[in-house]
Amino acid sequence: MTVHLHWFLPTGGDGRTLVDRHAFSQGALERKPGQSIAGVRAPSLDYLVQIAKAAEQLGFEAVLTPTGTWCEDAWLTTVALAQHTQRLKFLVAFRPGVISPVLAAQMASTYQRLTQGRLLLNVVTGGDSAEQRRYGDHLDHDRRYARTDEFLSVVRGVWGGKPYDFDGEHYQVDGGFTALPPDPQPQIFFGGSSAAAGPVAARHTDVYLTWGEPPQQVKEKIDWIRGLAEKEGRTVRFGIRLHTISRDSAQDAWATANRLIDDLSPETVAAAQAALGRSESVGQQRMLALHGGTREGLEISPNLWAGVGLVRGGAGTALVGSHAEVADRIEEYHALGIEHFVLSGYPHLEEAYWFGEGVIPDLAARGLLPAGAPVGGGAPLLVAGGR
């Protein structure tokens, strides 16, 4: 089993600050109409093209594009970026409750043909009822997962190549089909830490994603989902979502991490923690428990730093250290069964290069990357003796 490396597209904006400009920027990042925010980059097509091209050149297999009311639409953005790249895949996040499953199956099929098979799907059930209501979705947490279960049944059924009928609580479909099923079928990535999420992952997902918890907690999650999948007669692969701060020395990496939180006022952290604390997501509550809202003891496991989660929702931890130390941690998670690493950093363009030119060659030297994968910008990896 080799490591699959993916990067992140900041379609809600990027910058040199940890303040989550998506959900919590009210009052934290002030600006006057028509003025830009210092240190914050708009998610223009030109800027996202830079990141996508850098990710492709550096050897990342795919880029994750988020979903939500705070960012650009993932389907439209990535199909535009596909025209500027050759082999990079796009892990498109979307919410089952706001789109027909038959339409989603058709969109995925079209996407695969337009991009020659470069689509991956990240199913986001949604852990914030307030945001779900912005889309007109008023189901509670557990019923949203029950709907996702039906949604994925319909999607896979429609991809079967012949008319598909389904009669469930949330969907009733008569003869749903795609004129040309996707080839290959997109891999489905899915995350969820609640009791309602586990069975859905076991029945439908190709890759179960967890946020970056300490290794022992990640192992417990892997064992949980693997056991549920075995009862369904299925095998599920595993991935992890992390930020990275990798530098030529550990000292430089930790200095960068400390600078990111030095810019945060107590009021900014308190406002973010209050908003995040209202989330129904079990995974989000697990992220909050890692740091408890304080700046003390943020290295919760060797090279695993919880500082990002002080103000950012979702993935709240980063691998921090020298390139070799970050590679060590990736190898440690890989030994537990993690195959896919979905990574990001602030700013995403610069951090892609730090990781791509520093960590990826180290992982290649350890034999952890697929054969023939580009390494550190696509240049050949030189070894002693000139071979």
In this prediction, residue 103 carries a pLDDT of 97
Q: What is the DSSP annotation of 231-299? A: HTT---EEEEEEEEEEESSHHHHHHHHHHHHHT--HHHHHHHHHHHHT---HHHHHHHHHHTT-STT-E
Q: What is the pLDDT of residue 133?
A: 85
Model pLDDT, residue 128? 78
Helix (H) or strand (E) run with residue 158 in it: helix 141-158
pLDDT confidence of residue 265: 87
CA 250 to chain centre: 25
Look at the alpha carbons of 79, 236, 149, 217 in this order and tell me if their dihedral is positive or negative: negative
pLDDT tens for each residue of the chain, 387 residues long: 899 999 999 999 999 888 655 443 444 445 455 555 666 889 999 999 999 999 999 999 999 999 988 899 999 999 999 999 999 999 999 999 889 999 999 999 999 999 999 999 999 998 777 888 888 888 999 999 999 999 999 999 999 999 999 999 999 999 999 989 999 999 999 999 999 999 999 999 999 999 999 999 999 999 999 999 999 999 999 999 999 999 999 999 999 999 999 988 888 899 888 888 888 888 899 989 999 888 999 999 999 999 999 999 889 999 999 999 999 999 999 999 999 999 999 999 999 999 999 999 999 999 999 877 777 654 433 333 333
